[in-house]
């Protein structure tokens, strides 16, 4: 599998200095922990990279995850970036947990003006191998959690806030046989459009990011059983996988005032794979 090389820019490697792009912001990252999946020296995951970069850019961060140890490790690394951070243990698939998560984030941050919903699971395989329970489990985490987070957060977020829902290029093309995952990720774009229209009067922006192949622990784990992943990665016009830092920078842009005139948009971060393949 191709991995990041020193020839990549500092931003892609996570070594660029902060520029106060999120100064004063108070951001909840849902799914901010990280699992290594037994990978030795794992690359940084998406939620952890986001949390650290947001802090580096001047934000305070609430890191929510179902895994307390993973959330606390992200908090430790995020605080090392020089900003305030704290952990919230919550299961995005449990409605009561989502409501509590938003309340704890708002209380702990003394306000809330940014949200990134970064949770997602897979279950089932193909039509014959996907049960109703598989379907419901995936949609509970991949769509309902995003809906409930926004349902509880938007009424208490100040004008000018920003929300980013993390989808996947599987919302745009078939990449595997997990039908529930594809369908749930596509549903996020419909949810984004509805929420963006709903919140526009208060200048609250809602956007979606659709990452392609990003070099994470889960990606490396799946490559061990799916040789097609490497072929897909090098088939991207940029000839490599992305890094979690590159996804984090795209989301930082959408949360920042640099994107103050962008809402209801799906930003594809995939090295050109979908558009140029």
Catalytic residue positions? 181
CA angle, 30 as apex, 275 and 183 as ends, to 5°? 45
E-strand stretches of 83-148: 85-89, 114-117
- Chain center to CA of 256: 16
**197-231: burial string, b at 16+ Cβ within 10 Å, e else:** eebeeeebbbbbbbbbbbbbbbbbbbbeeeeebee
Contacts by residues 83-88 (CB-CB < 8 Å, ≥ 24 positions apart): 83/54, 83/55, 83/56, 83/58, 83/59, 84/55, 84/60, 85/51, 85/55, 85/60, 85/61, 86/62, 87/62, 87/63, 88/62, 88/63, 88/64
Q: Where are the beta strands (DSSP E) in 148-251?
A: 162-166, 205-211
DSSP character for 242? B
Residue position matching structure tokens 């997602």: 120
DSSP 137-171: HHHIIIIIHHHHHHHHHGGGSPTT-EEEEE--GGG
Q: What tokens does 80 get?
A: 């090392």
223: its two tokens: 């490559």
d(CA 196, CA 174): 26
């Amino acid at each position: 599998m191709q991995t990041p090389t020193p020839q990549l820019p500092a931003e892609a490697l996570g070594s660029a200095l902060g520029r106060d792009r999120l100064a004063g912001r108070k951001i909840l990252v849902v799914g901010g922990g990280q699992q290594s999946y037994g990978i030795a020296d794992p690359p940084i995951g998406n939620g952890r990279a986001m949390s650290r970069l947001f802090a580096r850019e001047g934000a305070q961060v609430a890191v929510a995850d179902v895994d307390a140890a993973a959330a606390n490790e992200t908090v430790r690394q995020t605080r090392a970036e020089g900003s305030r951070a704290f952990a919230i243990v919550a299961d995005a698939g449990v409605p009561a947990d989502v409501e509590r998560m938003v309340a704890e984030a708002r209380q702990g941050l003394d306000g809330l003006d940014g949200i990134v919903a970064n949770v997602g699971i897979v279950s089932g395989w193909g039509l014959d191998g996907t049960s109703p329970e598989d379907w419901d489990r995936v949609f509970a985490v991949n769509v309902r959690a995003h809906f409930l987070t926004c349902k509880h957060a938007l009424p208490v977020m100040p004008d000018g806030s920003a929300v980013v829902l993390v989808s996947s290029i599987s919302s745009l093309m078939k990449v595997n046989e997990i039908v529930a995952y594809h369908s749930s990720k596509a549903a996020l774009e419909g949810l984004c459009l509805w929420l963006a229209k709903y919140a526009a009067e208060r200048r609250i922006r809602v956007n979606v990011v659709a990452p392609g192949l990003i070099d994470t622990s889960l990606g490396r784990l799946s490559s061990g059983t799916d040789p097609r992943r490497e072929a897909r990665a090098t088939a991207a016009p940029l000839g490599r996988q992305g890094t979690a830092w590159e996804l984090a920078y795209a989301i930082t842009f959408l949360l920042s005032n640099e994107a103050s005139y962008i809402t209801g948009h799906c930003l594809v971060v995939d090295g050109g794979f979908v558009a140029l393949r």
